[in-house]
Amino acid sequence: MIPDDRRPDADSIWCSTMTRDLELESSTSSSRVRTCIPSSMPRQYAIMSAWREMTATDINGVLAVANNIHTTLPERDVVFAERARLFPEGCLVLVDDGEVVGYAISHPIRFRQPPALDSFVHEIAADANQYYIHDLAILPGSRARGLAADCVWKLLNVAKRYQTTCLISVYGTVTFWARYQFEPDTVDNALAEKLREYGADARYLCRQNDEHSVAR
């Protein structure tokens, strides 16, 4: 069920590049985003979860998270495995006490040519000139702890090698991604066809990358 409250200051929203209920940052400045631990949460519990690179042994856990969250946007385990093999530094898992509770998929692409949903990319093109955040998902029990923000900034620090980063926002999360300077961008016919796979509310967003905007 979609939360009724989608205000920018809500504790969590449905958010993507295919991501639901990602927590909003607790405090921001022009060049930094700081995540705060809720006063009611013991600090040792708040730091149990950690992001790391995805490996082949994580795929079953990744698929379980994806099936829990993306019931209308399914992807196969072999698709996740391919992305992790081709670009491991952009494919992360969130692990809590040995269990995968979240994941992120991102990699370079040719400008405005994100792959179709649930499709193989086969290789990272040698002439790739844009970074693409495909998916970021966190199970409900691990949300509202600053973990989504941590992941976004990790991905943007990889993405800064490229001039721009793009994504497909679904679940009505354009406002969330605006916090990271993502804005609606031009959509041609080929891209519009891919967007239809993600639902009527899918929006193609893009941001300019630079050292200042990804510093923490």
Residues (pLDDT < 50) of the chain are 1-46, 212, 215
Least Cα distance to 204 among 16, 42, 34, 10 occurs for 16
Domain ranges, ordered by start, for the chain: 12-24+47-214
Q: What does the pLDDT read at residue 48?
A: 76
Q: Give pLDDT, residue 214.
A: 52
pLDDT reported for residue 210: 79
* Assigned fold of 12-24+47-214: Aminopeptidase (3.40.630)
The model's pLDDT over 143-158, given as tens digits with 9 standing for 90+, comes to 888 898 999 999 999 9
Give pLDDT tens digits for 10-27: 333 334 444 444 444 333
Q: Tokens in use for 18?
A: 């295919």
pLDDT at 47: 53
- Whole-number pLDDT of residue 145: 85
**pTM, two decimal places:** 0.79
Residue 171 has a pLDDT of 86
Helix axes 77-86, 59-69, angle to 10 degrees: 120
